[in-house]
Every structure is written in C-alpha cells, then in structure tokens.
C-alpha cells in the first residue's frame, strides 16, 4: 500500500504518544493546581507554547484533556465549549507561530481570556437564543476581565522560560528517539 507524504507526516510515533500524554497530564495538573483561584489558569499559555513547539500534536492533548476534565467534573456546557475554544487558541498560535515576542503572546493570551466568555456564550445561542447568550456573556464579563489579566501576567512571566525549556525538550527527545 502506497502512502503519500501527508500520511507519513501525521503518523504518530512512540515519542509522539508519550509527548501527548505528558502534555495532557501537564494541562490537567496545572488546571488542578490553580483551581482554587477564580478564572486564573495556565492552560491558555501551555496550549500556546505546546502548539508553537509541537504543532498539531497539541490537538490530541486538547481532546484528551477535555475528556478527562469531563470525567473529573461531570458533563456540562463547558465540556462542549472546551472542544472548540481550546482548538481556536491552538489555531491562533499556529497561524502566528513565527512570532516570538513575549509581549505578543501575552497580549494574545490576555485577549483570549477576555473573549473566553463570549466564545462560551455561542452555545447558549442554540439553547436559549440571542438574549440568553448575550445575558450569559454580559454576566461573565467581570470574570473574563480577571481571566484576561491572569493570562496576560502568566504569559508575560512564564512564556520565555516555558518556550525555552520545551525547545530543549523537543531537541533532546526527538534526536534521541526510539
């Protein structure tokens, strides 16, 4: 059976599977570690740096992360929301992958935090219509502002150390592969 280049590029290796597991565990552990702080999370920054470093593999982690979060916290509207909001952030990171400015990624992360409620309210269009979606979004704006500030500060402080560590990890793990 003949395979084209795209098939070979997307085939997961043993290293990829291990990496996806590590990324997923990091997302879950970091979310749990900061769960006592309302709307402060490092998941946004991790998805950005994982996308910049490991590309498409992050999408597997996002799906598994969402499933595990659903197992832990139960099914809710947010479960469905996570399935499209986190990939949107990964796509944004991929589109701007040539950017390496701490300020750029801090602003992107902050804006994403500010827009998180608006993205989540899209589901309410189908459940309760425009009024419900708008009311849900407006009621959450104070929390989105906190989310924005937290994302901005975390990215400002942690982007460079995380991206440097991940680049070293990638270089080591993919040059010493099984």
| CATH code assigned at 103 | 1.10.1760.20
User: CA-CA distance, 4 to 20, in Å (whole number)?
Assistant: 24
6 located within any domain: no
In a domain, 122, yes or no: yes
pTM for this predicted structure = 0.91
Query: Is 77 inside a domain boundary?
Result: yes
What is the chain's pLDDT, residue by residue, as a tens digit (178 residues)? 454 454 456 789 999 999 999 999 999 999 999 999 999 999 999 999 999 999 999 999 999 999 999 999 999 989 999 999 999 999 999 999 999 999 999 999 999 999 999 999 999 999 999 999 999 999 999 999 999 999 999 999 999 999 999 999 898 877 665 5
Contact indicator for 154, 123 with CB cutoff of 8 Å: no
Domain count, the chain: 1
- Tell me whether residue 59 is in a domain: yes
The pLDDT score that the predictor gives to residue 9 is: 62
Burial of 92 from C-beta contacts in 10 A (0-12 / 13-18 / 19+): middle
Residue 94: inside a domain: yes
**By residue range, what is the domain housing residue 132?**
13-169
pLDDT the model gives residue 74? 95
Give the integer Cα–Cα distance in Å for 148 and 10. Answer: 34
In a domain, 7, yes or no: no
Tell me how far CA of residue 104 lies from CA of 29, 34, 93, 107, 111, in angstroms: 26, 24, 11, 5, 11
CA dist 163 → 58, 89, 102, 155 (Å) = 14, 16, 10, 11
Distant-in-sequence contacts of 70-76, Cβ < 8 A, 24+ apart: none
């Amino acid at each position: 059976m003949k395979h084209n280049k795209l098939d070979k590029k997307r085939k997961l290796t043993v290293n990829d599977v291990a990496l996806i597991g590590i990324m997923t565990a990091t997302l879950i552990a970091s979310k749990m570690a900061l769960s006592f702080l309302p709307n402060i999370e490092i998941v946004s920054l991790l998805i950005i740096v994982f996308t910049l470093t490991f590309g498409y593999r992050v999408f597997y982690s996002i799906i598994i992360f969402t499933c595990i979060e659903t197992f832990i916290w139960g099914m809710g509207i947010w479960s469905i929301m996570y399935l499209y909001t986190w990939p949107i952030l990964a796509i944004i990171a991929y589109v701007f992958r040539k950017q390496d400015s701490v300020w750029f990624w801090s602003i992107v992360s902050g804006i994403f935090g500010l827009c998180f409620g608006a993205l989540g309210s899209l589901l309410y269009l189908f459940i309760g219509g425009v009024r419900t979606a708008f009311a849900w979004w407006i009621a959450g704006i104070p929390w989105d502002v906190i989310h924005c500030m937290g994302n901005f500060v975390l990215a400002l402080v942690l982007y460079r150390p995380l991206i440097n560590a991940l680049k070293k990890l990638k270089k080591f793990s993919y040059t010493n592969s099984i």
